[in-house]
Amino acid sequence: MNASTQALPLTQQHSAPANTALSLRLPSPLQLKQQLPLSSALANQVNQHRQAIKAILEGRDPRLLVIVGPCSLHDPRAALDYAERLAQLSREVDEQMLLVMRAYVEKPRTTVGWKGLAYDPFLDGSDDMQTGLALSRELMLNMLKLGLPVATELLQPMAAGYFDDVLSWAAIGARTTESQIHREMVSGLGLPVGFKNGTDGGVGIACDAIRSAAHPHRHFGLDTQGHPAVIETLGNPDTHLVLRGGHKGPNYDAASIEQARQGLAKAGIAARIMIDCSHANSGKDPLRQPAVFDAVLQQRVAGDRSIVGMMLESHLFDGCQALGKGPLEYGVSITDGCLGWDATERLLRDAAARCEVSGEIAARLR
């Protein structure tokens, strides 16, 4: 045995990594689910919403799928205020579109910053993740009780098990679509998932992710008790592409969507595309989202049925605010800027009317 492979003394083998200052045990996903259970009635509701989204993806349901809500949840009171308004609107436009509450409790950070409600629920750097996980799950359950489907971005695979039973749709972000770990995770989820295009704007990475997630996998993971385990998955056929723009600019125009369709076809993947109206598609200007939404809706109304849905970052009030620089304004995002509720409601009501007219015209032509 040479010096580079010589075994360390037993005490060193079992010592904590030098850069680890703290280790606190969290409840297992099963323990939290038992503490905050999903009732059988709500479980049936979640399943119905999953099946409805699947039908939209497969073209059996003509409605438009819209994932809408705050960039991130940071204030449970404001989040439920928003959810109550969305639930009321959802009942009014249900024949034309399926509205899904965007309930993001994890946020990817390019460098550092607030990581989301599940990580730091008190917004003070205390990182009380046990409280954050419980608060996030409780908030999602309350949204379900309003009759809403719930969506989130699954960022940390270890956290997914705390929420997987309450979600009707999930996203894998541009920075993690290339991750093998996330593809394996999605292959074991029983819900529709959207993979975003890479940060360069290309769809090749997302196509690879969709194909990988559709296959069965055996991978390292955690069981419901929180123990390391070999996880065997069956594969997830209910995935799709989300276009969110990239470093080179937006990709919601007709030419970009056609290029995406060709990329999907080349990979042998069904053409079902959602457009994220924020991020690079709006130039990170939340007030430009309606223009993006309108341009995409025009393409869909004109007959492009590969466009199955859209995503909006929307809160009670326009814009965003910095965390840690004084008292926070109620209903204003502390991450990416959002479109306010009044403008969001007008946009969705107008879209429902246009979808209804389009449907009537199509019915007359049949």
Q: What is the structure's pLDDT at 112? A: 81
Q: What is the structure's pLDDT at 121? A: 98
Say if residue 28's pLDDT is above 80. yes
For residue 18, being part of any structural domain is answered with: no
Q: How far apart, in whole angstroms, are the C-alpha atoms of residue 277 and residue 310?
A: 7
For residue 12, being part of any structural domain is answered with: no
Confidence category of residue 4, pLDDT binned at 50, 70, 90: very low
For residue 195, being part of any structural domain is answered with: yes
For residue 19, being part of any structural domain is answered with: no
pTM of the model: 0.92
For residue 7, being part of any structural domain is answered with: no
Q: Which two tokens stand for residue 247?
A: 């470093």
Q: What is the structure's pLDDT at 204? A: 97
Task: Find the CATH number of the domain harbouring 205.
Answer: 3.20.20.70
For residue 16, being part of any structural domain is answered with: no
Q: How many domains does the chain have?
A: 1
Question: What are the pLDDT digits (tens) for 213-235?
Answer: 999 999 999 998 889 999 999 99
Domain that includes residue 135, residue range: 27-365
Closest by Cα among 69, 71, 73, 52 to 61: 52
Instruction: For tokens 């290339």, name the residue.
Output: 178
Average pLDDT over residues 154-178: 97
Host H or E run for residue 241? strand 239-243
Question: What are the pLDDT digits (tens) for 270-281?
Answer: 999 999 999 999
SS3 state at 276:
strand
